[in-house]
Amino acid sequence: MAAKLKTAVLGATGYSGLELARILSRHPRTASPLLLRRTAETDPESAEPRKKSATASAASPPISGNGHAHVEPFSWSTLKQHGVELLFLATPHAVSRELVPDAISRGLCVVDLSGAWRLKQEEHRAIYRFKDADVKTAAELTERAVYGLPELNAGQIKSSTLVANPGCYATSVILALAPLLFAGLVDLNRGIISDSKSGVSGAGKEPTARTHFVSVADNFSAYSVFGHRHTGEILEQLALDSSQFIFTPHLLPIPRGILSTIYVYLKRKMTAAKIQSCLQDFYAGKKWVRVFPASTLPEIQFSVHTNYCDIGFSLADDGRRLILVSCLDNLLKGAAGQAVQNMNLMYGWDEAEGLQ
C-alpha cells in the first residue's frame, strides 16, 4: 500500500481550518494532518503573542476524538520533523502572502485558502495592500499560482505546486455564469447583477461588531458595496470589465451557506431547454456541480454540509431575461471542501476522494 500523504493545516482552529482538519482526518489517502496555530512570529498583523491552545478538543470535538489532536505552534522545523509534503494555509491574507515564498523554497506544495495569491491584476490585488519583502519573488509566485476552481482549471491544478483556493462568493458566482459567458450568450452591454447572501461563518471566527449575535439575529444587511474583495476574482476569471458587473454581498442570520441570485440579459431569445443544455453540457462529468431543472431553484438547505454547488435558473417569457440561482456551503465548496478537491487533483486522485 502506498504511503499516505502528509499534510498540515495552519489555522486549524478557524472555521475553514476545522473543516479541513475534519476532512483530512478521514481522507483515505492522507495521514492524520498536523494541526498548527499561528504565533506572533507567523502573524505580521499582530505584535502580541496569541493564546496557546493545547488541543483541538475545545474548539472541535469532531476532529479531536479522545482529546489527542494537538494543535502545535507553527514552525518550519515542525513541518520538517513531521515530513509534511502539502501545507494548507487557512490564514489571513497577509500571513499567507508572507509564508508562501518560504514554503515553496522549502519544496512544499501549498493550497492557500486566503486571497493572497488569487489575483493576477494589480488593480484588483491593491485592495489587500500587500507589502512584499521580496517584490520579485512575490511577482513570480503571483504569476505561478493557479486559481483553484477545479471545474474550470483542473488541467493547470494537476501540475501546480501553489494553488490559490477561490473565495466562497466568487465560487458561487463564477460557476453559475461561466457556461453562459463562455458560450457568448450574455448581453454584456446590459450588465450583470449578482445579489449574494452568506451565513455569518463567511466573516471568519474573530468576532466583530457586525457579527455579534445581537447584530445578526433577526437582521439582514448589505455590506462592502462596490468594494468586496471577491469582486476582482469574478472579473478576472470571467474576463469581465468592472462596468459590466455589479456585486452586492449581504449577511444572513444563519451560520453557513451562500445563495447568489444573478440577473442577466441574453443576446437573443432563448428557450429554457437551451439554457438547460448549456449548463448541463458545461458541467457534464463534474461531480460537485448539480444543475437543477428549469424553474426549479436551489436553496441553501440543499447544499449546506456538502461540497456541492447547486445551480438553477428561471427564464422570463420574453426569452431574454434570465435569473440564475447558485447555492453552496461557504465552508466546504467555498473553502475547505474545494481545497481538498484541489489536493486530489494535484496528486492525481479522484476529485471526490474524502468528500463523499
pLDDT at site 208: 80
Report residue 84: phi and psi, to 5°.
-65, 135
Q: Are residues 154 and 31 in the same domain?
A: yes
- Structural domain includes residue 108: yes
Q: Are residues 177 and 268 in the same domain?
A: yes
Q: Are residues 126 and 220 in the same domain?
A: no
pLDDT at site 276: 98
Q: Are residues 13 and 133 in the same domain?
A: yes
Task: Using CB atoms within 10 Å of the CB of residue 182, give its burial: 0 to 12 exposed, 13 to 18 middle, 19+ buried.
Answer: middle
Q: Domain range holding 92?
A: 7-165+335-346
Q: Are residues 186 and 309 in the same domain?
A: yes
pLDDT at site 57: 42
- Structural domain includes residue 353: no
pLDDT at site 43: 61
pLDDT at site 63: 53
Rounded CA separation 342/335 (Å): 11
Q: Are residues 175 and 161 in the same domain?
A: no
Residues of the chain with pLDDT under 70: 1, 40-69
Do 26 and 15 touch, CB atoms closer than 8 A? no
pLDDT tens string 179-191: 999 999 999 999 9
Longest Cα pair distance anywhere in the chain, in angstroms? 64
Q: Report helix, strand or coil for 118.
A: coil
Integer CA distances (angstroms), 194 to 137, 263, 334, in order:
35, 6, 17
Rounded CA separation 46/314 (Å): 48
Single out the catalytic residue among 168, 278, 309, 327. Answer: 168
pLDDT at site 224: 84
- Structural domain includes residue 354: no
Q: Give, as one character, the DSSP assignment of residue 211.
A: T
pLDDT at site 207: 73
Rounded CA separation 340/88 (Å): 9
pLDDT at site 44: 56
Q: Are residues 180 and 145 in the same domain?
A: no
Q: Are residues 174 and 322 in the same domain?
A: yes
- What pTM does this model have? 0.91
pLDDT tens string 289-328: 999 999 899 999 999 999 999 999 999 999 999 999 999 9
Do 113 and 101 touch, CB atoms closer than 8 A? no
| Sequence letter at residue 128 | Y
327 included as an active-site residue: no
Domain count, the chain: 2
Q: Name every residue whose Cβ is closer than 8 Å to that of residue 195 and which is 6 or more positions away in sequence.
A: 248, 250, 260, 261, 262, 263
- Structural domain includes residue 352: no
